[in-house]
Structure 1
């Protein structure tokens, strides 16, 4: 199809070995960053110049943002905290080293909330600067949403990839738990932490999956091999709609958009059914909160011992709640997590994927709170793959998203379903640079 031939990924693959094309991608990212960053505040550090990329590598010259929770040897990594200001890690995190080996350009470090918890950084939503971009991967979501980079690394413990991706109008992809090494990433909750991706579209997320999760670089050697590997679904998918005990939190715009999206998918041939999810979602969210608190108490032991006064009130409360948690309650939560993960295929109720909202609605106003992650929490506890795609816009110009969830370790099939859904309901927009907007007015 012409659409596939002209996609961002197939163009990237077709231009492999083209030095001018690699350089052009970097120049475009620099130009957009210089036009937008003064008001966006997506980055904690951006080099003044960039080394010429290896044009023959799979990700030749692809500008990538890296969350400031992830170690980079040549750039400061402060984990969103004044405790680590100016810290220079001795080595790249393995995921960063792999990016470099694949020819990607580490374009910048992106803002994170403090240790990936609730204390926000300065980043704003690219579509409305008086609204949050979400968290904790605030800068990565905003940098992709603003069109500065086509791919960025984030992390998710509860909802820190899927929710900000929905808020910023981009694709978010949280792989199955443990499929990407978290070495060199400051832990928040080791039993829950995932490395994930923000991408301009599902196909870019699928390329990240091929390289970092499936570890199949050969599928990106030619357009033909890529299109064979990430082939479209042969038939429309079977989708199970998940309703939750938390649906009373949904904004009207999110409800309306979700139902309209389901109607579009049905009209396009998808088998959309309301399922009874065979697990207690409230219990799942409670178990996640228990694990999060105990794991955070353990992960933050050094900072809590030596720098407690430099931690935010949010982080101190999280650590103290973890320290007070009964061990029996923690072990019960871990047992539930393991049982549910083992049943993840069964929980799909015969569907190819589950679908739900990714958030209560559009990004909340103000920058003091990064939003409610509850609608991502069950899938973070189970560690199953999750994807969100842009599905619409509010009257005030804020993006809305649509979440797709698969069985554990069924990431590729989940991405294929997400790609099909994106083609039907996709609502991605390109952010114009300020001078273009002014000229249009």
Structure 2
């Protein structure tokens, strides 16, 4: 497998139509999974065989092995949503994103571990860099599978920070598109007003491949190397807005130092840097987000929790119980605030080409009982703005640190281009 940290997309385009190359990619992914899975525990299910590889070779994804979070329905593989309630459950049809993967010739390599219904009860996955540390969540297995070199691309979901944070913890690229740009049909809802489909890869170029196919639906961008370069080229932003928020103290010393060093490095290339306020204090956003999450989680998961109390975690019971107690007026106020602020995403950018913030409070915490703090992802999930995190260094213990770039709603491609430039510009991570 292409483990040299170079973009997969160019290799994929160059081998279009080569069935042997598609089969080889799959064989390498299987060998890598066999090697890493006994400790990593990133997958809930991997098939014994894969159909349609030869026919996929002429399509845009050319038999590329792609891991899919177990929150997302697959008609030919069990989908458990991270819950014993659904052990062995086989959906009647594929989720929308899975159907698109298959239509473009991608191979669903396996289902990856999710926390219970994408909330806080962790699965067994460990951090690929140190098995004593969390990989983050809720897209734990998808982030870990990419970081371990098993698959070049994986699909996850984010409600608060479930793509960006585990990507940062595992030292890979995470991309959360603008809310609603990728259909969530067939992904078990936690909170529809906040849920996003997102992607993991080792290079920004490769999540940009996912953007071209699954957000913009432009397969012609992958028709040739020249077509790809015309579609996607790294760009240096002229202006960068730095967002620290009133919760900056939650970031640890190493994350703060790495963030400031990354900004300085980018500034030295000629980009102008401006310190910006968030417009609305982050605790206000977090409170509204929690209100929406609690109410919608109660609607979506409350009936299951009531019917199977012995198979639902205490963390999930607490969430749905809190949702049941929220007054209807408070929920409507929170949704109104979300709609009002989301429509003003350009104002949050403060005239800058791109915003930057930490993706997490620091490196992955020690222990597997908690998936980490989503503080620095919350605002962008609430506002539905596109976000990308890239690896930006390591903590003293060797674990990855990340750097997050955010853009106006529907400016996903520009944010990805800026992120690709930043990944090229910042000191090498690996």
TM-score band, normalised by the shorter chain?
over 0.9
CA distance in 2, matches of 1:237, 1:200: 25
Q: How many positions carry a matched residue from both structures?
A: 423
CA shift, 1:9, in A, is: 1.0
SS in 1 for 2:403: strand
Match of 1:208 among 210, 233, 258: 210
Runs of 4+ in 1 over 3 A off after TM superposition: none
CA offsets 1:341-373 (integer angstroms, 9 cap, x no match): 110012100101110000000000010000001
Q: What residue number does 1:14 align with?
A: 14
For structure 1, the 5+ residue unaligned runs are 1-5, 430-441
Match of 1:218 among 217, 220, 226: 220
SS in 2 for 1:48: coil
CA distance in 1, matches of 2:46, 2:238: 42
CA offsets 1:62-95 (integer angstroms, 9 cap, x no match): 1100000000000000000000000000100011
Could you say if the C-alpha distance between residues 319 and 50 of structure 1 is closer, same or farther in structure 2, counting changes exceeding 3 Å?
Answer: same
Question: Does structure 1 conserve the Cα–Cα contact (< 8 Å) formed by 2:40 and 2:131?
Answer: yes
CA shift, 1:21, in A, is: 1.3
CA distance in 2, matches of 1:146, 1:216: 29
SS in 2 for 1:375: helix
CA shift, 1:20, in A, is: 1.6
CA distance in 1, matches of 2:352, 2:218: 27
CA offsets 1:37-84 (integer angstroms, 9 cap, x no match): 000000000011222511101001111000000000000000000000
CA offsets 1:114-154 (integer angstroms, 9 cap, x no match): 00000000000000000000000000000001010011010
CA RMSD of superposed structures (Å): 1.1
Question: Does structure 2 conserve the Cα–Cα contact (< 8 Å) formed by 1:389 and 1:426?
Answer: no
Q: What residue number does 2:345 align with?
A: 344
Question: Does structure 2 conserve the Cα–Cα contact (< 8 Å) formed by 1:113 and 1:121?
Answer: yes
Q: What residue number does 2:48 align with?
A: 48
Q: What residue number does 1:437 align with?
A: none
Identify the range of structure 1 (295-304 vs 133-142) with the bigger mean alpha-carbon deviation.
295-304
CA distance in 2, matches of 1:158, 1:201: 23
CA offsets 1:362-400 (integer angstroms, 9 cap, x no match): 000010000001110000000010000000011211000
CA shift, 1:242, in A, is: 0.3
Q: What residue number does 1:230 align with?
A: 232
Match of 1:72 among 56, 74, 82: 74
Instruction: Tell me whether 1:249 sits opposite 2:212 in the alignment.
Output: no
CA distance in 2, matches of 1:159, 1:137: 9
Instruction: Give the TM-score normalised by structure 1.
Output: 0.94
Instruction: Tell me whether 1:287 sits opposite 2:325 in the alignment.
Output: no
Q: Please give the residue correspondences for 1:4-403 in structure 2 after superposition, counting only pairs within 5 Å.
A: 7-53=7-53, 54-233=56-235, 235-403=236-404
Question: Does structure 1 conserve the Cα–Cα contact (< 8 Å) formed by 2:296 and 2:323?
Answer: yes
CA distance in 2, matches of 1:7, 1:131: 28
Could you say if the C-alpha distance between residues 130 and 403 of structure 1 is closer, same or farther in structure 2, counting changes exceeding 3 Å?
Answer: same
CA distance in 2, matches of 1:26, 1:378: 38
CA offsets 1:128-184 (integer angstroms, 9 cap, x no match): 000000000000000001010011010000000000000000000000001111111
CA distance in 2, matches of 1:84, 1:380: 27
SS in 2 for 1:142: helix
